[in-house]
Amino acid sequence: MGRGLACGFAALALAIAYYAAAAQLPSSFLSDDVGADGLPRLLAVALGVLGLLAALRAVLARTAPAGAPPEGGGVAVHARALGLIALGAAYAQLTPSLGYMAGTIVFLFVVAAYSGQRPSLPLAAISGAGGVVLWLVFVKLLGVAMPSGMLAPLLG
């Protein structure tokens, strides 16, 4: 299946799901004539029509969509890219318990290693220094209430 066709079908599927969700929106006695579901329904129909159009165009042209050249690569390349998202998600999960400073030090080390840097003492030192600098900037300078986690007794 070509990318244009995939895009068209994805838009169509999203349009159907969004329309279904819009149809279930509760009504309110405060509502106006258009209603909370007015624009969503219109958008769903518009997306559906555009999805069909994109699919039809892809079938007729039998070529990839115009515009910016899409990046190529196989499943392994995409999996590697998505791995970065997984690291971000892991950071979000672990930081509340690890604390911002410790979580960020680990995060810097793991992401740099994942990006091709050989795990080493200098990498650990730079990650450690980076975590402390970011903690100083966000917590001490900007006053953001970052999670203290397990280091809470030490950091006050």
Partner 1 sequence: MNDLHTAWTALTSGWAIPGAVAGVVWGIFGGALPGISPSIAMALLLPFTYGLDPVTAIVLLASVYVGAEYGGSIPAILIRTPGTNSAAATVLDGFEMNRQGRAGEALGISLVSGLVGGLFGLAVLVLFTEPLARVALAFTPPAYFALGMLGLSVIASLSSGSLVLGLIAAVVGLMIATVGTDPVSGVPRFTFGSPDLLGGVRPILVMVGLFAVSELMVQVSEPAWARASTRDTRLKLPDWTTWKRMFRPHAIGAVIGTIEGVTPGAGGTIAAFMSYNEARRWSRHPEEFGHGSIEGVAAPEAANNVVTATALVPLLSLGIPGSNSAAVLLGGFLIHGLSPGPMLFERNADVVYGLYGGLLVANIAMLLVGLVILSPCIWLVNRPKPYLLAFIFALIVSGVYSIDQSFFDLGLVLAAGALGYAMRWLGMPYLPMVLGVVLGGLVESNYRRSLVLSGGDHAIFVQDPVALGLLAGAVLMLAVSLYREMRAVAKAREEDSER
Residue list 8-27, contact with partner 1 (CB under 8 A)? 11, 14, 18, 21-22, 25-27
Footprint on residues 27-86 left by partner 1 (CB under 8 A): 27-28, 30-40, 43, 46-47, 50-51, 53-54, 57, 64-71, 73, 77-78, 80-85
Footprint on residues 91-130 left by partner 1 (CB under 8 A): 91-93, 95-96, 100, 104, 107-109, 111-117, 126-127, 130
Give dist(CA 55, CA 45) in Å, integer: 15
Q: What is the distance of C-alpha 45 from the center of its chain? A: 26
- Which of residues 145 and 154 has its CB atom nearest to partner 1 in the complex? 145
State both tokens at 54.
């994109």
